[in-house]
């Protein structure tokens, strides 16, 4: 009997984390539902965990899982269910049917996991590594999102992947097609009101000369916090606006705010080239023949030099670029720079860049963060060098996005990348902070 009990305990317990095994966790979730208790299922997946195993070995990876499991136990209510589903995926069963309560716990879990983690590499403690870890969490709430443990786990897992797609280090609730349609309608309605009430704000992310570390420009990024919806992610509200005429009003609000900020940060410059301003354009806008004049008039009214203004469009917006050629040509003729943004995502159509470069309307190309995500691997370095050489051959200025570590920056400097953008160089900031950064470097 004692041996049988030991075998059962072994089967019920994950050997690495000490949490419930997948089978045991599923049984506990099923029992909770059978008893008629409220239940929310949270599936937690560590972001970029494979990189930890690849860089430091599986022993360190296992230690990370153990520590994360301990942090989860400290964070969740005592009566909660907690287990390891496998790999770097964990599960928490919270005894509540309230989405708000489940969301608050998810926020606490993300904060607990994100605390710096120091791991000793030997018994003496003299050799250690510091790791920063984030996670993505998907949430499914019974009975709305499923009536069985299997359904809830599957739907929470689906929501977790949605969180990863939205930028990681976040949580998402499972949404049915009806939920998505209702959300889309609500966001669209609230966004119309927010644009009319001038509630859209703008953040500014620096673009940096990698050699001198000086800021050469800022990209204007729309931000929206709604009194009812809270902070709405740009990927959500901009995607909705881009499919309607609302994108024109949203663009005008962002452009006007950004021009005022750019005039301010350039007012303290003694000599030299103005710090540029980049503003994003949607594909829909490229069919508007009045767009170039509208942009030029706004810049002149703000007394901002057209030569320091950049319009950023994605490469996918240019798949039917023949219809937009006249608009782009007029923007270029006015002295406004054209930047292809996020190149390397979607079609990666070389012909688009070549045609625009030959037409003399393309001034810069921003290479997507995917090109540096795997640095310093040989393949990534080779690919990056190829893209930089391509930009040089077309006589357009290359900018690499997504620079998040000193190691990535070092490789970019080695391969001769001139300009970059990313969290390691500067996160999106307020207009006041952007002005302060420019003035700091002016005094150097």
Q: What is the pLDDT of residues 349-389, one digit of tens each?
A: 677 778 788 878 889 999 988 788 777 777 778 888 888 98
Q: Calculate mean pLDDT across residues 211-224.
A: 96
Q: Calculate mean pLDDT across residues 224-236.
A: 88
- Of 123, 151, 175, the last residue of a domain is 175
The closest of 415, 408, 431, 388 to 275, measured between CA atoms, is 431
Model confidence pLDDT, tens digit, residues 83-119? 999 889 999 999 999 999 999 999 999 999 999 888 8
> What are phi and psi for residue 371, nearest 5 degrees?
-70, -25
pLDDT for position 250: 97
156 shares its domain with 195: no
pLDDT for position 323: 67
Q: Calculate mean pLDDT across residues 254-282.
A: 90
- Of 175, 194, 211, the last residue of a domain is 175
pLDDT at 428 over 60: yes
pLDDT at 347 over 50: no
Q: Provide the CATH number for the domain around residue 379.
A: 3.20.20.450
pLDDT for position 33: 96
120 shares its domain with 252: no
pLDDT for position 123: 57
Interior CA angle at 256 toward 251 and 257, to 5°?
100
pLDDT for position 440: 87
162 shares its domain with 188: no
Please name every residue paired with 226 in a beta bridge, in sequence order, or none if there are none.
230
Model confidence pLDDT, tens digit, residues 157-180? 999 988 988 777 899 999 877 677
> What per-residue string of b and e applies to 341-361 under the rule 16 or more CB within 10 Å gives b?
bbbbeeeebeebbebbbeeeb
> What per-residue string of b and e applies to 370-380 under the rule 16 or more CB within 10 Å gives b?
ebbeebeeeeb
Of the CA atoms within 13 Å of residue 44, those in its CB half-sphere come to 32
> Are 298 and 255 within 8 A, CB to CB?
yes
Dihedral of CA 252/253/254/255: which sign? positive
Domain around 309? 184-442
pLDDT at 13 over 90: no
pLDDT for position 382: 86
pLDDT for position 78: 93
Q: Give the 3-state secondary structure of residue 168.
A: coil
pLDDT for position 122: 61
Model confidence pLDDT, tens digit, residues 32-82? 999 999 999 999 999 988 888 877 788 888 899 999 999 999 999 999 999
Q: How far apart (Å, rounded) are the C-alpha atoms in residues 210 and 412?
A: 8
pTM: 0.67
Q: Calculate mean pLDDT across residues 307-323.
A: 78
What 8-state DSSP symbol labels residue 283? G
Q: Give the 3-state secondary structure of residue 266.
A: helix
pLDDT at 295 over 90: yes
100 shares its domain with 119: yes
Average pLDDT, whole number, for the chain? 88
59 shares its domain with 132: yes
167 shares its domain with 247: no
Q: Calculate mean pLDDT across residues 390-400.
A: 91
């Amino acid at each position: 009997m004692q041996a049988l009990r030991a075998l059962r305990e072994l089967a019920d317990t994950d050997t690495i984390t000490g949490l419930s095994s997948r089978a045991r966790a599923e049984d506990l979730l099923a029992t909770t539902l059978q008893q008629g208790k409220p239940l929310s299922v949270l599936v937690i997946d560590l972001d970029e965990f494979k990189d930890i195993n690849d860089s430091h070995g599986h022993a360190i990876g296992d230690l990370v899982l153990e520590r994360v499991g301990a942090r989860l136990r400290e964070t969740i209510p005592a009566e909660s269910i907690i287990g390891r589903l496998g790999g770097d995926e964990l599960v928490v069963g919270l005894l509540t049917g309230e989405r708000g309560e489940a969301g608050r716990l998810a926020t606490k879990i993300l904060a607990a996991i994100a605390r710096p983690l120091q791991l000793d590499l030997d018994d003496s403690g003299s050799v250690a590594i510091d790791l920063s870890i984030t996670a993505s969490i998907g949430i499914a709430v019974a009975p709305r999102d499923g009536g069985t443990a299997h359904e809830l786990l599957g739907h929470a897992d689906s929501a977790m992947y949605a969180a990863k797609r939205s930028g990681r280090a976040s949580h998402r609730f499972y949404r049915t097609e009806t939920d998505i349609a209702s959300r889309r309608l609500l966001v669209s309605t609230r966004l119309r009101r927010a644009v009319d009430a001038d509630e859209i704000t703008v953040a500014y992310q620096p673009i940096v000369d990698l050699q001198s570390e000086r800021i050469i420009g800022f990209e204007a990024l729309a931000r929206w916090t709604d009194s009812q919806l809270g902070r709405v992610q740009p990927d959500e509200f901009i995607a909705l606006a881009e499919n309607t005429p609302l994108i024109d009003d949203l663009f005008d609000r962002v452009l006007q705010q950004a021009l005022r900020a750019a005039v301010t940060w350039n007012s303290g410059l003694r000599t030299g080239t103005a710090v540029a301003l980049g503003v994003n354009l949607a594909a829909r806008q490229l069919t508007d023949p009045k767009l170039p004049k509208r942009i030029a008039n706004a810049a002149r009214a703000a007394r901002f030099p057209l030569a320091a203004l950049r319009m950023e469009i994605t490469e996918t917006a240019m798949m039917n670029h023949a219809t937009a050629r006249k608009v782009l040509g007029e923007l270029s003729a006015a002295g406004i720079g054209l930047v292809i943004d996020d190149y390397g995502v979607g079609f990666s159509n070389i012909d688009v860049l070549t045609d625009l470069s030959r037409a003399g309307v393309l001034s810069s190309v921003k290479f997507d963060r995917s090109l540096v995500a795997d640095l310093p691997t040989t393949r990534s370095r080779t690919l990056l060098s190829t893209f930089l050489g391509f930009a040089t051959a077309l006589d357009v200025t290359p900018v690499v996005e997504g620079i998040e570590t000193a190691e990535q920056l070092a490789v970019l400097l080695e391969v001769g990348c001139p300009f970059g953008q990313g969290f390691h160089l500067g996160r999106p900031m307020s207009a006041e902070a952007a002005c302060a950064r420019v003035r700091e470097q002016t005094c150097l």
